[in-house]
Structure 1
Amino acid sequence: MQNKPSLEIIRGLLFTYDIENTDDLEREALISSKNINNEKELIELFNKLTKPEFLNHPKPEQDWFIDSIEYFLTINDNFDAVFKKMATYFSEDVADQRAFMQTLLNSLKHYTDNP
């Protein structure tokens, strides 16, 4: 059975960046040091922090993350339901939430192809 697309699971994947996740000062410093509106720096951050978290999930859950992001991009969702409920360590606001999610999607697909 395939899971329905979910903004909640996307937000769960991004919990690494949430201020409620407060157990690692080095991680917090790394997150706040990156310009998350710069695609190259965002990819570096995803490679360092999101990749290991993502690859710890079983393949069906990995597919659910990817399918969910693809679905919400396809219906032109603005991802406010993800970002408005999350306070992050990012040093600035995400300027283009859809571009952020597209970069995340591309990264996740890369991780499944090149674990």
Structure 2
Amino acid sequence: MKRKPSMSIIRGLLFTYDIENTDDPERERLIASKNINNEKELIELFDELTKPEFLSYTKSEQEWFIESIEHYLAIDDNFDAAFKTMATYFSEPVTNQQAFMRVLLECLKQYNGTHKSQK
């Protein structure tokens, strides 16, 4: 059964980077040390922090994350609903939220094993 795209699940995946998630000073330092507007550093951050969490979800849930991001990119959403509702440990604001989400999407596809284009 196919699930509807959800911005709230995307926000949930990004909770790792939210100030409300305050249980790990080492993680907080790592997040703050990366230039999240630099694709290489962003990928390093996702590999370190997002990958383990993402892989803890079922394949069906992983596909829901991927399909949700794909959907919102396809309709040219600006992702304000995800970014404007959270304060992060990022040392600077995300300058291009769609680019951030495209990098996240490619990383998720790689983690999921669906990196090849499947449409």
**TM-score bracket, shorter-length normalisation:** over 0.9
2:77 alignment counterpart = 77
* CA distance in 2: counterparts of 1:86 and 1:73, whole angstroms: 20
Normalising by structure 1, report the TM-score: 0.98
Runs of 4+ in 1 over 6 A off after TM superposition: none
* CA distance in 2: counterparts of 1:45 and 1:73, whole angstroms: 21
* Aligned-residue RMSD, C-alpha: 0.8
What does 1:22-61 correspond to in 2, within 5 Å? 22-61=22-61
1:112 alignment counterpart = 112
How far the C-alpha of 1:113 sits from its partner, in A, is 1.3
Q: Percent identity?
A: 71
* CA distance in 2: counterparts of 1:11 and 1:76, whole angstroms: 17
Give 5+ residue unaligned stretches, structure 1: none
Q: Which amino acid aligns with 1:12?
A: G
1:5-54 CA distance string (max 9 Å, x none):
00000000000000000000000000000000000000000000000000
Normalising by structure 2, report the TM-score: 0.95
Number of residue pairs matched by the alignment: 114
2:6 alignment counterpart = 6
